[in-house]
Chain A
Amino acid sequence: MPESNPTTVQLVEAVCAFLENDVMPSSQDRLAFDTRVAVNALKIVARELRLGASLDESEQQRLSGLLGQNGSLDALNDLLTAQINTGVLDSDTPDLMNHLYQTTMGKLQIDNPRYSTYKRLHDKGKNGDQGSLS
């Protein structure tokens, strides 16, 4: 796809600002509530557009290392869930837990970086791609 201006992120952020600054102050009750939820939804979209690709890439790299093979992200995750399901990998496997923490922290970074557990672990430095878990 050729590069467009404004970018997708900018378009989403423009709609987000419109809802927050123009629609929300003049609405009430159910409409005000749903507008706030809509703003949250668009903020998730904007964060995913910014971060999604690089988070996916590091997830795929970790999975390749953990499972000792290459493949698409979907295929590797299929294999991972199968290995967890059959008990080949479990919570005593440090590399597995390290991977799951980093992947889940990445999801929260998009879905809800204000979530208490995310903030607490983030402050403890338990999220980085350097990913040292102690």
Chain B
Amino acid sequence: MSSRRSLAVRMSVGLLLAMLLVLVGGFPGNLGADPPQPEKPKGGQCVRPAEWMRHNHMDFLKHNRTVAVREGKRVRSESLQKCAECHTSRERFCDRCHDYVAVEPDCFDCHIYPK
């Protein structure tokens, strides 16, 4: 009886130790990852303040696309073609953050990023 109990205790202690190892070994690696820095744009001023864009670019782009497609209103200075003049690389600008925060916008399944 006592040997069985001691086996159970030993097993649970071992399990706890294993979990601790995973926690200790796994966590610092994750904590060490800094947020990615997207590439600095080439041009001067963005169409909106950078801070505002950081929070609202998704709604901004979505709004512009709806207006462009359905109402035929084209604001050329704020088109996706224009974005690419300063943000020259989609991989180094858009994707860096999107990968980090694990969002997958499907814009570029169809839109070919301008060169």
Check if A and B associate.
Answer: no
Contacts from A to B (Cβ < 8 Å)? none
